[in-house]
Structures are given as C-alpha cells and as structure tokens.
Structure 1
Amino acid sequence: MTKDRERYRIEAITSGHDRAAFDCGHPFLNVYLAQFARQNDRKGLARAFVLVPQPAGNPVLGYYTLMSGAVAFKHMPPNLRQGLPKYPIPVARIGELALDQRQKGKGLGSDLLLDAVARIARASAQVAVWAIIVDPIDQAAATFYQHHGFQPLPDSEALILTMKDAKAWLGQP
C-alpha cells in the first residue's frame, strides 16, 4: 500500500461517483467506466470498484472490475497442471483495471490490484477460486501484472496468478 493510502478509499461504484473526467489514456477503458461499469454492476455481470479521494468521494481516480469464470484445463500453464482435474478450473477475473493519468507514478495502480486480490481472497473462502485471471490491455499492463507475479496462460493474451501465490502476496496462509 502507498503511504498516501489514507488519502484515498476504494469502494463499490454508485451513481454518485463522478466518472466524467476520468482519463486513463485508453479510450475503451474510459468509455467502459463512463457508460458500462455501473450498468454491468447492476446487472450482476461485473462488480466495479472505484478509487476516490477521502473524504469527498469524487472524482473517480481509478477503478477495477471483478467477475467469475473458468479456464479449461488444457489452457493452464504446464507448471500449474499437476494435481488439477481435467475439467474447467474456477477463477476470478479482473476485467478492467485503470488509473487516471494524473494519478500515475504514485503506486495507486498497485493499490488497486492489491485491493482486488484481497477482495478475491476473501471471496475464495466462500466460493471456490483457484486462480485470478487478467487480460492486459497492452504490453505496459502485461508488464505491470507480471511484476506482481502473474504468468502467461498458454495460447492466450491472458495472465494467471494462483490463489496460493495471491495469498502469499497478501501475507495469508
């Protein structure tokens, strides 16, 4: 966590969050936040969480989305296949993770990822989650996730982090 963490909070998206000025530099991620994040959250398609300043809560400085999924055994990296059944493996997916360009360089992207991983780890105590999957939007995003322990899925742009590794990162048994 960044030392400035007390200046920010991460919370579930609401209609009260100001999303209009958000600009992460990727049109798709900007449009997703502005037009689809809240709608998809309401529909139960993806849960959206926003990074906002304390105590005001506006504007949105960053966000991520979470959803459930599965990965076919054949798509698992060979080094992770041992002991797994040969049917789909339950995963949580970080769909989008973006930080406003004006906030870059402060460690807040890592804070968003840490919050997402911690949220998934808590959920995995109730719902089976063997790993976390991400689909980086570009090479810079892939490098960011790989720096945090994610590894490539074969024949895919996606990256994976096992819950075992995620919990180790969080300092959990």
Structure 2
Amino acid sequence: MSLSSAFVLIDAAAHDLKGFDCGKPSLNDYLSRFAVRNSSLGLSRTWVLTELVAQGKAPVAAYFTLASSTVTRELLPSQPKSLPAYPVPVVLLARLGVSLTQQGRQLGAKTLVQALRTALELTDTGLPALGVVLDVLDEAALKFYQHMGLFTPLTDQPMRLFVPMSTLRQL
C-alpha cells in the first residue's frame, strides 16, 4: 500500500484511528481514544502518516505526538551552570508508533526524524525548548532510540532520553 507524502495533524473525520495496530496496546489505545481529545484540549498535538485510499477514512501507517514539558537542570546529561535552577522547557515526544503492516520498512526512523524536525520547527517559531525528551516504552524501543545515536539518558533515569536542540540543528 502506498503512503501519503507527508505527516499531517490528526483528523478523526479523515483518519481511521481505531484500525491502527502497532503491537503495543498503550500506543494503539492512545491514538484511538485520546489523541484527538488531547489535541482539542491543547494538551498535545498528534501527526499521522496515512496509507493512500480511494475513499473512506485513511488507515494510519505511523504517528507521533508532541507536548510541552519541563526537566530540571540536575537531570540533564550535561548540567550547564548557565541554566536556571528551576525546571526548563523541553518538547516531550510523548508517543511514536508504526503500524504492524508497515514495520520493517524504516518507517520508525522516518517517523522519529519527522518528530524531531517538527519539534525543532516549533522551537524556531515560538515554543521555547532546550531539547526533546522521551520516555521509552520498553527495552525494544530503547534499542531503537540508541541505534539512532542521538539520545542520552537523563541522570538516574535510563528509560528517559534527551537530545538538545543544538544537536538537532546540526543534523
């Protein structure tokens, strides 16, 4: 099945959210039950890449969700003294999933790259953020993110990863 050319903001009227299955129930459930609602409440934004269909709702091939968050200087891998002692803003990569039908086609890496580009664009257009933080779902996901070579674990939190915006700007 062919895929659309770009990630777009989620639209319950145009996207088949209930048919998505990435093999991780919590990610499936979030997309089908909470992504649209959280977006309408201003809590997060979800972007989807869909399969091309002639009619009806387009199946979701992959998605990611971004939200605002904070981290304290003490948790950062390098603890710059120039940062304030109070929590600093970051973009949270809250969710990332790829449909089972699309796995094994490098779509996970493409989705991650798009999520990081989107986070960088958001910071360049007005959302201040020191970097991107993500909470790793499981060991398989940790290996995926480690393979990308961008992320560093937060201090004392090996399943919470960080990449500074300065690193993303160099890519």
TM-score, normalization: structure 2?
Answer: 0.88
Question: Which structure dedicates a bigger proportion of its chain to strand?
Answer: 2
User: Which stretches in structure 2 are left out of the alignment for 5+ residues?
Assistant: none
Deviation digits for residues 73-117 of structure 1, max 9, x if unmatched?
A: 11112x343532322121000000000111111111111111111
Match of 1:33 in 2: 31
User: Which stretch of structure 1 is more off in the superposition, 140-149 or 111-120?
Assistant: 140-149
Letter in 1 for 2:60: V
Q: What is the count of residue pairs matched by the alignment?
A: 165
Cα pair 1:51 1:62 within 8 Å, conserved: yes
1:14 CA drift (Å): 0.5
User: Which stretches in structure 1 are left out of the alignment for 5+ residues?
Assistant: none
Deviation digits for residues 47-76 of structure 1, max 9, x if unmatched?
A: 011111247571011111000111011111
Alignment of 1:75-114 (within 5 A): 75-77=75-77, 79-114=78-113
Identity %: 34
Match of 1:9 in 2: 6
Cα pair 2:71 2:89 within 8 Å, conserved: yes
Question: Which structure dedicates a bigger proportion of its chain to helix?
Answer: 1
Matched position secondary structure for 1:159:
strand
Superposition RMSD on alpha carbons, in Å? 2.0
1:140 CA drift (Å): 1.3
Alignment of 1:8-157 (within 5 A): 8-15=5-12, 16-54=14-52, 58-77=58-77, 79-125=78-124, 126-148=126-148, 149-156=150-157, 157=159
TM-score, normalization: structure 1?
Answer: 0.87
